[in-house]
Amino acid sequence: MSDTSKSKEGHWSKTRNLTFFVLFIWFIFSMVIPWNAKALNSMSFLGFELGYYMCVQGSLAVFVLLIFFQNWRQDAIDDEFGVGE
pTM higher than 0.85, yes or no? no
Tens digit of each residue's pLDDT (9 = 90 or more) over 26-75? 999 999 988 998 998 999 888 889 888 888 888 899 999 999 999 999 99
Tens digit of each residue's pLDDT (9 = 90 or more) over 7-16? 899 999 999 9
The ranges assigned to domains in the chain are 25-78
DSSP 35-85: HTHHHHTTSEETTEEHHHHIIIIIHHHHHHHHHHHHHHHHHHHHHHHTTT-
Q: What is the pLDDT of residue 1?
A: 62
